[in-house]
Chain A
């Protein structure tokens, strides 16, 4: 699995878009980019994943650069319940979780 780099923490105002960056410069051609989030003391929740193209679902959007070396998770209208640790993972069958980004949504 490719190593990923994320900021340790970020803040966002409620109702604004939260943009979470991730670097995965060593990603290989068949590895997907996955995003999960974890609220304290719960199991991680799957958010979205992509290979080359940008993706959007009911939770978020994923923007992957053309060279696939970085990506951005976008929560379009952050709420207080989006406060969590967000993990970006580049991998295949095995996923390697780093320490993620602690996103705090402030009222």
Chain B
């Protein structure tokens, strides 16, 4: 069953603790993305990676870190430096268009809702 999975669905952490959110895809997609969504707002890009062992900052990277050691995995760590970490976090992936530098549509996981107490 192909797709993109995120775990856990709900996560609670105490203030000051780092927490890592999992994102796995078995679609053989080249690129992976992390977004943050706050209530009533659209998605904002945190980090993205177009190839293994390489990633770029998005619009709101401060307080977050990522790694891309394997094509199918792109974990996101929310560090204690993130001022307002409580949010809905979404992971996505997309396939590179053949012979081009652009990418196809993104497919999203179900999301992880992080609450920092």
Contacts and interface: CB of A to CB of B under 8 A. Distances in A.
Contact of B50 (A30, A32, A34, A93): A93
A43 B112 CA distance: 9
Contact of A96 (B45, B101, B105): B45
Contact of A43 (B58, B94, B103, B110): B110
A21 interface: no
Contact of A45 (B43, B45, B108): B108
Interface of B: 31, 35, 40-45, 48, 50, 58-59, 88, 90, 92, 94, 101-103, 105-111, 113
Contacts, number: 50
Interface residues of A, number: 20
Given A97-B44, A99-B41, A42 B103 contact: no
Interface in A24-56: 30, 32, 34, 41-46, 49
4 closest cross-chain pairs (CB), A and B: A43-B108, A97-B42, A97-B43, A46-B105
A93 B33 CA distance: 10
A43 B41 CA distance: 13
Residues of A contacting B: mostly = loop
Interface of A: 30, 32, 34, 41-46, 49, 87, 92-100
A49 B105 contact: yes
Given A32-B102, A34-B105, A46-B105, 12 more contacts: A30-B102, A41-B88, A41-B111, A43-B92, A44-B43, A45-B108, A93-B31, A93-B48, A93-B50, A94-B58, A97-B44, A100-B42
A94 B109 CA distance: 17
Contacts of B107: 46
Contacts of B108: 43-46
Give the residue among A49, A93, A96 with the most B Cβ atoms within 10 A. Answer: A93
